[in-house]
Structure 1
Amino acid sequence: MQREARDREQAQAVRERVAGERLRIAQEVHDVVGHGLAAIKMQADVALHLLDRDPDQAQRSLQAISRTATEALSEVRSTLAVVRRKDTDRAPTPGLDRLDDLRRRMTEAGLRVEVETTGTRRELPDAVDVAGYRLVQESLTNVLRHSEQKIATVRLRYDPDAVVIEVSNPDAGDHTGDGTGFGIRGMAERVGSVGGEFFAGRTPDGRFTVRASLPTGGKA
């Protein structure tokens, strides 16, 4: 009886581990594909609008589409490759040190992004680093998709035991995501998975704001 109970517990632990890994991969794919498609759509709209009037700008938009698609495909392949690897292997994932690249892609897509950093940048635990990057990526993608005002402010604050991230936009309309369940809810789950605190909604200044405090365990 004890052996059967132990076997059931082990089987349940395996199922929970597999379910958690599937959710993680689904979130990664959603974030990468959703961001890439939103940027590609905006650039395609620009190219179509300027095709006859400003062929040079239309060509630059098409080049941006090509770069965005290439980068998104690379990230998707890296993420899905984990399925074929051993459990101890993980696909490489981006962190907050790649915010400049993200800002460039969003600018090319038509979103003006201002980044403000306070405190001393430092190496973060991997899970926190990925969660922070994906939070910014998804927030900016939502602004690009849903906001009439294509501008966003990203604030990073490095505290001794946490990194605080805030992404805000002057348009306090609907930024809730694409209805797939991986928008605001997905961000909240990511933040919760690393023991952080999450907020998304309208702030007293009338802006729509996504804010997260991610604990770093005092890692300096």
Structure 2
Amino acid sequence: MVRLLRPFGRAVTYTRWLHLFMAVVWPAMWIFLDEAWAFVSVVPLAAAGLVPGMRVVEGVQARLLLTGHRPDDTTTDIVVAPSATWADRGRTVVWLEARLLIGSCVAMLTVQLPVLAVDLVNAARGGRQGEGSFLRLTGSGWWYGLLSPLPLLLLAAVVVGSGELITRLARRLLGPSAAERLSALEERTEQLLERNRIARELHDSIGHALTVAVVQAGAARAANSAEFTDRALTAIEETGRSALEDLERVLGVLRESERPVSGRPTLVDAVRLLESARASGAKLDAEVAGPLETLPGHVSREGYRILQEALTNVLRHAGAVPARVRVEVAEDALTLDVRNPLPDARAAPGRGAGLRGIRERAALLGGRAHTGPDGAGDWLVRVELPLG
């Protein structure tokens, strides 16, 4: 019983009822002139459905009254956008005619069923049946009173059932087309890729800064030298300031979804990255071959992050060991090599998020990445990124 009464406690049941009544307002106006005009109104209604903007009007009404969603909600079950194709226009026409037909039936039953209930009560009391009822009663008798609740129960079923029917039709006829679904899927994919990229940005930047801070603090404590401690604090300050700038930039992108991503470091800034690693105790032998400033922006930015993660891994896992860094710019590819001795020649390849991020960055640009022991007792990170 509670389940049967539950729909009547929801506001959307009555807004759907109102939505169906609104569909017959305009045709009903013609009835006062001539009943035939109510049927002639079907033709201009179909013509209105061919106007692209009509889909927006109907979509807004359907969202507000049929689903309870606001027009600016992210739900995509009912589209609030002009018709882009003739198929969209055709579905809008079918929607308008179906809404008119169902609305006319519901409006008629809404008026006639309560009248019928009153007629049944009058017939039970021996009174006369009123004019305008669509069902004529014969005779009179007390048993008519037993039937009087049935029209009201039927009206309740009509209100709930027609509301569910018109809502399903709206999702079908005013819902997104195949092209719109594909566009929404592509947009969602772009959002997920952007979130994944931001997560990698934070991991690489903040992880590098924390690694430098930990290594420098430990080295300063072990050295017990005021001069070394001063250099360590300077390196921590510079790395921390750079990480804060990266954090502010990423948070700005998250706050403003339409804000373009700019100001990210590139391989042209690799000198600062190498100096930060040297200040942290790494003994780097760096070689740069080719003009870094000619690299495409996306390749240079991702190359910087890959180099940063590779150097962070050297500091974190190997410590103050000699490392060789080679950056080579060729005509068709960028090659990054970072090689350092393993603390343990039997160490297994890493499976951390940093190495996975290096491989993901390379794969997104159509490149290749190798991370692991090279068989000669060294740990090797080698990445090739195409320039096309």
Tell me if 1:58 matches 2:229.
yes
C-alpha change, 1:93 and 1:58, in structure 2 (3 Å) is same
Deviation at 1:122, TM superposition (A): 4.3
Q: Normalized per residue, which structure has more helix?
A: 2
Aligned to 2:249: 78
**For each residue in 1:131-187, what CA deviation from the matched residue of structure 2 results, as whole angstroms up to 9, or x when unmatched?**
11111110110010011552211112221111111111121545626x4x2x11110
Cα distance between partner residues in 2 of 1:121 and 1:91: 18
Indicate the residue corresponding to 2:322 in structure 1.
Answer: 151
Decide which structure has the larger Cα Rg and report it: 2
- Offset from partner CA, 1:77-97 (integer Å, 9 cap, x none): 122222233536113111111
- In structure 2, which of residues 197, 200, 203 is the aligned counterpart of residue 24 of structure 1? 197
Which residues of 2 match residues 96-107 of structure 1 at below 5 A? Answer: 96-107=267-278
Q: Establish whether residue 176 from structure 1 lines up as the match of residue 347 from structure 2.
A: no
Identity of matched residues, %: 34
Aligned residue pair count? 212
In structure 1, distance between residues paired with 2:337 and 2:231: 31
For 1:33, what is the secondary structure of its paired residue? Answer: helix
Q: Distance in 1 between matches of 2:292 and 2:179?
A: 46
State the shift of 1:123 in Å.
Answer: 1.2
Matched, 1:39 2:212: yes
Instruction: Select between 116-125 and 200-209 the one with higher mean Cα deviation.
Output: 116-125
Q: Is the 8 A contact 1:111 1:144 kept in 2?
A: yes
Q: Which of these residues, 93, 111, 125, is aligned with residue 282 of structure 2?
A: 111
Q: Is the 8 A contact 1:146 1:175 kept in 2?
A: no
Q: 1:203 aligns with which of 351, 354, 374?
A: 374
Q: Secondary structure at the match of 2:231?
A: helix
Residue correspondence of structure 1 range 187-202 to structure 2 within 5 A = 187-202=358-373
Gap runs ≥5 in structure 1: none
For residue 68 of structure 1, report the CA deviation from its aligned partner.
Answer: 1.5
Q: Which has the higher strand share?
A: 1
Query: Structure 2 CA distance, aligned partners of 1:174 and 1:57?
Result: 34
Q: Structure 1 stretch 165-174 or stretch 2-11: which is displaced more? A: 2-11
In the TM superposition, structure 1's runs of 4+ consecutive aligned residues that sit over 6 Å from their partners are none
TM (normalized to structure 2)?
Answer: 0.51
Deviations 1:93-152 (A, max 9, x none): 111111110011111111111111234444111111111111111011001001155221
2:231/2:279 contact within 8 Å kept: no
Quote the residue 2:23 is aligned against.
Answer: none
- Choose which of 2, 7, 12 in structure 1 pairs with 2:185: 12
* Whole-angstrom CA distance in 2 between matches of 1:69 and 1:122: 26
| Alignment check: 8 A CA contact 1:82 1:91 kept | no
Q: Please, which of 251, 266, 270 is the counterpart of residue 95 of structure 1?
A: 266
1:189: Cα distance to partner? 0.4
Deviation of the 1:211 alpha carbon:
0.7
Structure 2: any 5+ residue segments left out of the alignment?
1-171
- Greater relative contact order (Cα 8 A, min sep 6): structure 1 or 2? 1
